Amino acid sequence: MLACFIKQSNVRYYVGQKLMAPVRFCRTKGGCAMDKRIMKTRKGLKDALLCLLEEHPFEEITVTEICEHARTGRLTFYKYYSDKNELMRECFQDLQEEIMDRMRKEGENIRGRLPQISDDSGTGLSPRLNCLLCWMETYTDVVIDVLGDRRFLTAKMIGNSGMMYELYQFIIKCLEKMERESEIQDDFQTGRGWTRYPVQQVNSFLAMGMWGYVFSCREGTDMTRTRRDAKALLRDLLGSAIFMQATGQKP
Protein backbone atom coordinates (compact mmCIF):
# COMPACT_ATOMS: atom_id res chain seq x y z
CA MET A 1 0.00 0.00 0.00
CA LEU A 2 1.34 3.41 -1.00
CA ALA A 3 1.13 6.35 1.34
CA CYS A 4 2.76 9.74 1.10
CA PHE A 5 3.05 12.97 3.03
CA ILE A 6 4.30 16.43 2.18
CA LYS A 7 6.70 18.24 4.48
CA GLN A 8 8.36 21.54 3.61
CA SER A 9 7.63 21.02 -0.10
CA ASN A 10 9.54 17.70 -0.17
CA VAL A 11 7.51 14.63 -1.10
CA ARG A 12 8.43 11.37 0.63
CA TYR A 13 6.97 8.01 -0.28
CA TYR A 14 6.38 4.92 1.83
CA VAL A 15 6.49 1.67 -0.11
CA GLY A 16 5.56 -0.96 2.41
CA GLN A 17 7.69 0.02 5.40
CA LYS A 18 10.53 1.59 3.38
CA LEU A 19 10.91 5.36 3.34
CA MET A 20 12.12 6.66 -0.02
CA ALA A 21 14.20 9.84 -0.13
CA PRO A 22 12.62 12.87 -1.78
CA VAL A 23 13.61 13.46 -5.38
CA ARG A 24 15.01 16.91 -6.06
CA PHE A 25 14.77 18.29 -9.56
CA CYS A 26 16.68 20.90 -11.53
CA ARG A 27 15.70 22.70 -14.68
CA THR A 28 17.52 21.62 -17.81
CA LYS A 29 17.36 22.31 -21.53
CA GLY A 30 13.83 22.62 -22.86
CA GLY A 31 12.46 23.36 -19.40
CA CYS A 32 12.34 19.67 -18.46
CA ALA A 33 13.01 18.61 -14.89
CA MET A 34 15.99 16.40 -14.16
CA ASP A 35 16.86 14.69 -10.90
CA LYS A 36 20.00 16.22 -9.36
CA ARG A 37 21.41 12.72 -8.97
CA ILE A 38 21.09 12.17 -12.72
CA MET A 39 22.81 15.49 -13.40
CA LYS A 40 25.64 14.52 -11.06
CA THR A 41 26.08 11.15 -12.79
CA ARG A 42 26.12 12.70 -16.26
CA LYS A 43 28.57 15.38 -15.16
CA GLY A 44 30.84 12.68 -13.75
CA LEU A 45 30.84 10.86 -17.08
CA LYS A 46 31.60 14.05 -19.01
CA ASP A 47 34.40 15.00 -16.62
CA ALA A 48 35.86 11.51 -16.98
CA LEU A 49 35.88 11.76 -20.77
CA LEU A 50 37.55 15.18 -20.73
CA CYS A 51 40.15 13.90 -18.28
CA LEU A 52 40.96 10.94 -20.53
CA LEU A 53 41.23 13.24 -23.54
CA GLU A 54 44.17 14.99 -21.93
CA GLU A 55 46.21 11.80 -22.32
CA HIS A 56 44.62 9.82 -25.17
CA PRO A 57 43.07 10.35 -28.62
CA PHE A 58 39.28 10.13 -28.61
CA GLU A 59 39.34 7.09 -30.89
CA GLU A 60 41.34 5.10 -28.34
CA ILE A 61 39.10 5.86 -25.36
CA THR A 62 36.58 3.14 -24.48
CA VAL A 63 33.29 3.29 -22.61
CA THR A 64 34.80 0.98 -19.99
CA GLU A 65 37.62 3.46 -19.33
CA ILE A 66 35.16 6.32 -19.06
CA CYS A 67 33.10 4.37 -16.53
CA GLU A 68 36.17 3.45 -14.49
CA HIS A 69 37.23 7.09 -14.25
CA ALA A 70 33.67 8.13 -13.38
CA ARG A 71 33.38 5.29 -10.84
CA THR A 72 30.16 4.05 -12.34
CA GLY A 73 29.02 1.04 -14.37
CA ARG A 74 28.45 0.48 -18.06
CA LEU A 75 24.74 -0.05 -17.45
CA THR A 76 24.55 3.44 -15.99
CA PHE A 77 26.45 4.85 -18.96
CA TYR A 78 24.11 3.27 -21.50
CA LYS A 79 21.11 4.45 -19.53
CA TYR A 80 21.96 8.01 -20.57
CA TYR A 81 24.12 7.71 -23.72
CA SER A 82 24.04 5.46 -26.75
CA ASP A 83 27.83 5.65 -27.17
CA LYS A 84 30.86 7.81 -26.40
CA ASN A 85 30.12 10.05 -29.39
CA GLU A 86 26.84 11.14 -27.83
CA LEU A 87 28.66 11.84 -24.57
CA MET A 88 31.22 13.94 -26.46
CA ARG A 89 28.45 15.82 -28.23
CA GLU A 90 26.91 16.74 -24.90
CA CYS A 91 30.29 18.02 -23.68
CA PHE A 92 30.44 20.29 -26.70
CA GLN A 93 26.85 21.44 -26.19
CA ASP A 94 27.71 22.43 -22.62
CA LEU A 95 30.56 24.52 -23.99
CA GLN A 96 28.26 26.22 -26.48
CA GLU A 97 25.72 27.02 -23.79
CA GLU A 98 28.38 28.56 -21.56
CA ILE A 99 29.58 30.79 -24.41
CA MET A 100 26.03 31.81 -25.33
CA ASP A 101 25.13 32.60 -21.71
CA ARG A 102 28.14 34.91 -21.50
CA MET A 103 27.26 36.54 -24.83
CA ARG A 104 23.71 37.21 -23.65
CA LYS A 105 25.04 39.02 -20.59
CA GLU A 106 27.61 40.97 -22.60
CA GLY A 107 24.94 41.79 -25.17
CA GLU A 108 22.87 43.72 -22.64
CA ASN A 109 25.84 46.02 -22.06
CA ILE A 110 26.58 46.43 -25.77
CA ARG A 111 22.99 47.29 -26.69
CA GLY A 112 22.99 50.06 -24.10
CA ARG A 113 26.03 51.65 -25.78
CA LEU A 114 25.17 51.13 -29.47
CA PRO A 115 24.73 54.87 -30.30
CA GLN A 116 28.22 55.66 -28.98
CA ILE A 117 29.72 52.53 -30.56
CA SER A 118 28.27 53.18 -34.02
CA ASP A 119 29.43 56.84 -34.00
CA ASP A 120 33.03 56.02 -33.02
CA SER A 121 35.10 57.88 -35.62
CA GLY A 122 38.40 56.61 -34.26
CA THR A 123 38.12 53.27 -36.05
CA GLY A 124 37.61 54.68 -39.54
CA LEU A 125 34.74 52.21 -40.02
CA SER A 126 31.13 52.79 -41.00
CA PRO A 127 28.56 52.83 -38.14
CA ARG A 128 27.40 49.32 -38.96
CA LEU A 129 30.94 47.93 -39.05
CA ASN A 130 31.71 49.71 -35.77
CA CYS A 131 28.86 47.76 -34.17
CA LEU A 132 29.96 44.50 -35.78
CA LEU A 133 33.54 45.06 -34.62
CA CYS A 134 32.34 45.55 -31.04
CA TRP A 135 30.32 42.32 -31.15
CA MET A 136 33.18 40.33 -32.69
CA GLU A 137 35.75 41.65 -30.22
CA THR A 138 33.41 40.75 -27.37
CA TYR A 139 32.90 37.27 -28.82
CA THR A 140 36.68 36.81 -29.01
CA ASP A 141 37.00 37.80 -25.35
CA VAL A 142 34.21 35.44 -24.30
CA VAL A 143 35.66 32.45 -26.19
CA ILE A 144 39.11 33.00 -24.69
CA ASP A 145 37.68 33.58 -21.18
CA VAL A 146 35.38 30.54 -21.24
CA LEU A 147 37.94 28.15 -22.65
CA GLY A 148 40.96 29.50 -20.82
CA ASP A 149 43.47 26.70 -20.32
CA ARG A 150 40.99 24.27 -21.90
CA ARG A 151 41.42 25.65 -25.42
CA PHE A 152 43.93 22.96 -26.45
CA LEU A 153 41.75 20.24 -24.95
CA THR A 154 38.73 21.66 -26.77
CA ALA A 155 40.58 21.73 -30.08
CA LYS A 156 41.64 18.12 -29.52
CA MET A 157 38.09 17.14 -28.57
CA ILE A 158 36.65 18.61 -31.75
CA GLY A 159 39.40 17.33 -34.03
CA ASN A 160 39.18 13.79 -32.70
CA SER A 161 35.43 13.34 -32.76
CA GLY A 162 34.33 14.59 -36.15
CA MET A 163 32.48 17.58 -34.68
CA MET A 164 34.19 20.27 -36.74
CA TYR A 165 31.04 20.81 -38.79
CA GLU A 166 28.99 21.27 -35.62
CA LEU A 167 31.54 23.83 -34.43
CA TYR A 168 31.33 25.58 -37.81
CA GLN A 169 27.53 25.79 -37.59
CA PHE A 170 27.72 27.14 -34.04
CA ILE A 171 30.12 29.97 -35.00
CA ILE A 172 28.08 30.79 -38.12
CA LYS A 173 24.99 31.10 -35.93
CA CYS A 174 26.85 33.45 -33.59
CA LEU A 175 28.13 35.55 -36.51
CA GLU A 176 24.68 35.88 -38.05
CA LYS A 177 23.27 37.03 -34.73
CA MET A 178 26.05 39.61 -34.32
CA GLU A 179 25.38 40.88 -37.84
CA ARG A 180 21.66 41.26 -37.13
CA GLU A 181 22.46 43.12 -33.92
CA SER A 182 24.73 45.47 -35.94
CA GLU A 183 22.17 46.41 -38.58
CA ILE A 184 21.49 50.12 -38.95
CA GLN A 185 17.99 51.30 -39.87
CA ASP A 186 19.33 53.28 -42.85
CA ASP A 187 20.63 50.03 -44.34
CA PHE A 188 17.07 48.67 -44.51
CA GLN A 189 15.67 51.85 -46.06
CA THR A 190 18.31 52.17 -48.79
CA GLY A 191 19.00 48.48 -49.34
CA ARG A 192 22.72 48.98 -48.76
CA GLY A 193 24.94 45.97 -48.25
CA TRP A 194 27.93 45.71 -45.95
CA THR A 195 30.30 43.47 -47.89
CA ARG A 196 31.46 43.20 -51.50
CA TYR A 197 31.10 39.41 -51.45
CA PRO A 198 28.24 36.99 -50.74
CA VAL A 199 27.52 37.18 -47.01
CA GLN A 200 27.37 33.41 -46.56
CA GLN A 201 30.87 32.93 -47.99
CA VAL A 202 32.27 35.82 -45.95
CA ASN A 203 30.76 34.33 -42.80
CA SER A 204 32.30 30.95 -43.58
CA PHE A 205 35.69 32.63 -44.01
CA LEU A 206 35.35 34.56 -40.74
CA ALA A 207 33.92 31.63 -38.76
CA MET A 208 36.82 29.25 -39.08
CA GLY A 209 39.38 32.05 -39.28
CA MET A 210 38.40 33.46 -35.89
CA TRP A 211 38.43 30.05 -34.26
CA GLY A 212 41.64 28.98 -35.98
CA TYR A 213 43.53 32.10 -34.95
CA VAL A 214 42.86 31.48 -31.26
CA PHE A 215 43.45 27.72 -31.40
CA SER A 216 46.54 27.80 -33.58
CA CYS A 217 48.57 29.06 -30.61
CA ARG A 218 51.01 26.67 -29.05
CA GLU A 219 50.57 25.62 -25.46
CA GLY A 220 52.12 28.20 -23.16
CA THR A 221 51.40 31.09 -25.55
CA ASP A 222 50.70 34.46 -23.92
CA MET A 223 46.92 34.68 -24.35
CA THR A 224 46.93 38.39 -23.48
CA ARG A 225 48.91 38.98 -26.66
CA THR A 226 46.74 36.55 -28.62
CA ARG A 227 43.63 38.39 -27.46
CA ARG A 228 45.13 41.75 -28.50
CA ASP A 229 46.37 40.48 -31.86
CA ALA A 230 43.05 38.77 -32.64
CA LYS A 231 41.20 42.05 -32.13
CA ALA A 232 43.74 43.91 -34.28
CA LEU A 233 43.21 41.32 -37.02
CA LEU A 234 39.43 41.82 -36.82
CA ARG A 235 39.84 45.59 -37.15
CA ASP A 236 42.14 45.15 -40.15
CA LEU A 237 39.69 42.77 -41.82
CA LEU A 238 36.67 45.01 -41.29
CA GLY A 239 38.68 47.99 -42.51
CA SER A 240 39.75 46.22 -45.69
CA ALA A 241 38.20 46.38 -49.17
CA ILE A 242 36.22 43.24 -48.32
CA PHE A 243 33.70 45.41 -46.48
CA MET A 244 31.81 48.56 -47.43
CA GLN A 245 33.41 51.51 -45.63
CA ALA A 246 31.49 54.46 -47.04
CA THR A 247 27.70 54.43 -46.92
CA GLY A 248 27.56 55.64 -50.53
CA GLN A 249 29.58 52.76 -51.96
CA LYS A 250 27.98 49.93 -53.90
CA PRO A 251 29.09 46.29 -53.70
Instruction: Check residue 10 and give its pLDDT.
Output: 42
List the one residue out of 110, 198, 138, 211 whose CA is nearest residue 169.
Answer: 211
Instruction: Check residue 102 and give its pLDDT.
Output: 93
List the one residue out of 247, 161, 158, 250 whose CA is nearest residue 211.
Answer: 158
Instruction: Check residue 220 and give its pLDDT.
Output: 66
Instruction: Check residue 19 and give its pLDDT.
Output: 41
Q: Which residues of the chain are modeled with pLDDT < 70? A: 1-34, 149, 151-152, 157, 159-162, 184-193, 217-221, 245-251
Contacts of 202 (CB under 8 A, 6+ apart): 195, 242
**Which contiguous run of DSSP H or E holds residue 14?**
strand 10-15
Distance of alpha carbon 113 from alpha carbon 115, whole angstroms = 6
Each domain of the chain, given as residue ranges in start order, spans 2-80, 90-238
Instruction: Check residue 161 and give its pLDDT.
Output: 57
Instruction: Check residue 121 and give its pLDDT.
Output: 76
- Order the strands of the 2-7 sheet from edge to edge: 2-7, 10-15, 18-20
- What is the sign of the dihedral through the CA atoms of 98, 104, 109 and 113? positive
DSSP 19-75: EEPPPPEEE-GGG-EEEHHHHHHHHHHHHHHHHHHTTS-GGG--HHHHHHHHT--HH
- Amino acid letter at 197? Y
Distance of alpha carbon 113 from alpha carbon 189, whole angstroms = 23
Instruction: Check residue 167 and give its pLDDT.
Output: 82
